[in-house]
Structure 1
Amino acid sequence: MKYLLLPVLLLWGMGVGAQPTRPADYGLKAFSINDNKLGRINFYVDTMGLFKKAPLFIDINGSGGLPLCIYINGKGFGAVSNTFDPNITAKTKEKYHYIILDKPGTPFCDTITTLQSAKEYDLHKLIAGYKVSDEYTRRLSLQWRVEATRKVISYLVKNHFWDHTKIVAYGYSEGGQVVPALAVEDKRITHVVTIAGSGLNQFYDNIAGWRIKAAKGEITSRQAQDSINASFKNIADIYKNPTATNKAFDGHSYKRWASFCAVAPFEQLRKLTIPIYMVAATDDTSSPVYGLDYVLLDFIRLGKTNLTYEPCVGCNHYLTSIDNGKQVSHDYLQKILAWVDMHRQ
């Protein structure tokens, strides 16, 4: 499970004020809800026809406590990168209200400073060193993301943003696991879209990964089994301490892992009768395709027909593939929007 880090915009010799670092720079208006249980929930709505009733398109992004906008303050340059896709706003705002939430305790935009020049710096290394907030670590869980999104939907309904037609829950990576849980809990959701999400327990991905490496001859069977044994020890400790935020595994708190691995996503998905669109990347090492193939298998077994399953052949976690030595990006959004129009409840 990862965040989607979009291409950097380089703006040479300019101050932070000239960069697209505010919600308004992306055509978004900021809102917030203070909740006794969940804390402060910050969310953003596109400004086109802001106070007109419309269907809702809720964008639920990937994992990690990164801001939606990151400003790199480097030596002689400034750069902005996003962990959400502004192109989604552009393609949905005419027919929908586009909505996206911050993670708990996370600002819309934050600055990372480096003494390196534009030619020297490595964006991914800088991002890897970003320190998430204590509130993010304390609060982030599958339940927080589901309940916070439900609060936002209720706010939008109460304040007459929704036209009482469609609410599309669109989730990428970790968000692809949030959306089925959200739809099970909130019957106002009319369509679920899961992109490079999960089908099986996330812990199983690492276990199967070691087996695959052994089968390919990259490591020995003994090495694979030793690694799997160590994984099971970690997993057992997480399930014994499911609310711990002072213990971490593979970059996430125990609380985060235990919440997302409490129920396998296919078990949530098969409860749904609303239309589901699922994109699986066949060369994805973060959200392996076999877990998503299992969802289709389970739907066939049950005779359920509400799943549209779309494998992105040769694609990685970011839906890019290599064709004749060139990187090709695959954008499913227009197809998804057409699918939503065709699949009414």
Structure 2
Amino acid sequence: MKTFFPYLFLFAGSAAQAQESKPIPTIDDALKKYDFIQGQVVDNKDTIIYYLKNYQKKPTKLVVYIQGTDPNPIFSYSQNKGEYSVSRWFGDDYKLLDSNYTYAIIPKPGIAGIFDKSKLSVPKEYQEKNYLEYRVKQIDLSINDIIKRHLAKPEKIIVYGHSEGATIAAPLALKNKSITHLGFWSGNVLNNFYEFSLFNRIESLAGKQSDSLAHQHIMGIIDWYSSVIKNPNLTDIDQMGYTNKRWSSFEKAPIEYLLKLDIPIYAYFATEDESTPIETAYLLPIQFMQNRKNNLTFNVCIGCNHSYEKEINGKKIKLWPNVFEEFLHWTDHKK
């Protein structure tokens, strides 16, 4: 998960006031449009929201998707010539599931609800609670509530995360024993700061910057890491748009969580990934063999970028749906 120069989708913590007579879309409008329902879990003074694909009969299988790095909403609305339209910020994976499944997505802290796409800024609650332990708690409690309230005789609980979502999914699978299958997609395998440094060395080898400049950048990253560990709970926002509390919570290399798991793991990476170095991804199968573990399936999308897009004859082809279908098929054969 390369976050050297992240492109943040920023959004407001409250919807704009209506300027026209037509009502502003609500979260209920969004849920109705995409046929989702809303659930919630109250944990002390904290209310955790989740969105679940609607169902006619209680399903037996659950798929949970964990988003990547950026503070994106789940639903938003926009206005054009006086007409409102509602959008979702997640893909079509849920449409590929049959009636035996339901699909859940848990918004990041401060990002539940629907937002005006034209008035965007990062909510304070997001900055305060955007760290690994909180995200794991959010999703863990949501999964438990869904199992209790919405599933009939649960057969399969599938969790897959992409980019930062993968690095959350790994410790989540250690905590929640109901999870039966894990998708670790394009998450950093080693410590973030090491992988940031690695990208600089790769750029040097490719002739995109000199060795001396790469070294200078790497030493700056090491100084940055040092400042984080000296003040690990600092919630001031840094030049990257995140907090020390967020960075320090991801300090442990995800491979350490993965090696402790015994459930089937589907790891997927891309060779042209601009955010996660493919070079460290190959450490996964090596380490699993070294530890005599055989619960890892390791696949790579040749020529694909971070979003699993591949250029063929000058045209970008989206392979994400294929990856998801392969992943779902894999869960049917791995126990």
TM-score range, shorter chain: 0.7 to 0.9
Q: Number of residues paired by the alignment? A: 317
Pairing partner for 1:23 from 31, 35, 38: 31
1:48 is matched with 55
Separation in 1 of the partners of 2:81 and 2:27? 16
2:263 is matched with 274
- Three-state SS of the structure 2 residue aligned to 1:33 is strand
Where structure 2 has 5 or more consecutive residues not aligned to the other structure, the ranges are: 10-21
Q: Is the 8 A contact 2:268 2:298 kept in 1?
A: yes
Separation in 1 of the partners of 2:184 and 2:296? 11
Pairing partner for 1:335 from 288, 303, 326: 326
Structural mapping, 1:1-345, within 5 Å: 1=1, 17=25, 22-36=30-44, 39-49=46-56, 52-73=58-79, 81-85=87-91, 87-113=92-118, 130-159=120-149, 161-261=151-251, 263-330=252-319, 331=321, 332-344=323-335
- Three-state SS of the structure 1 residue aligned to 2:332 is helix
Q: Is the 8 A contact 1:20 1:26 kept in 2?
A: no
Question: Which whole-Å deviations, capped at 9, do the CAs of 1:101-151 have from their partners, x for residues lacking one?
Answer: 11111133211328xxxxxxxxxxxxxxx3111011101111111111111
Q: Is the 8 A contact 1:22 1:108 kept in 2?
A: no
Where structure 1 has 5 or more consecutive residues not aligned to the other structure, the ranges are: 6-13, 115-129
Q: Is the 8 A contact 2:59 2:152 kept in 1?
A: yes
Q: Is the 8 A contact 1:74 1:113 kept in 2?
A: no
Residues 260 and 249 (structure 1), Cα distance of their counterparts in 2 relative to 1, 3 Å cut: farther
Residues 80 and 225 (structure 1), Cα distance of their counterparts in 2 relative to 1, 3 Å cut: farther
- Three-state SS of the structure 1 residue aligned to 2:73 is coil
Separation in 2 of the partners of 1:3 and 1:184? 31
2:16 is matched with none
Question: Which whole-Å deviations, capped at 9, do the CAs of 1:146-197 have from their partners, x for residues lacking one?
Answer: 1111111221233252523211011111111111111111111110012211
Separation in 2 of the partners of 1:244 and 1:291? 29
Residues 20 and 78 (structure 1), Cα distance of their counterparts in 2 relative to 1, 3 Å cut: farther
- Greater relative contact order (Cα < 8 A, sep 6+): 2
Separation in 1 of the partners of 2:27 and 2:112? 16
Q: Is the 8 A contact 2:27 2:114 kept in 1?
A: no
- Name the Cα RMSD after superposition: 2.5
Shift of 1:81: 4.8
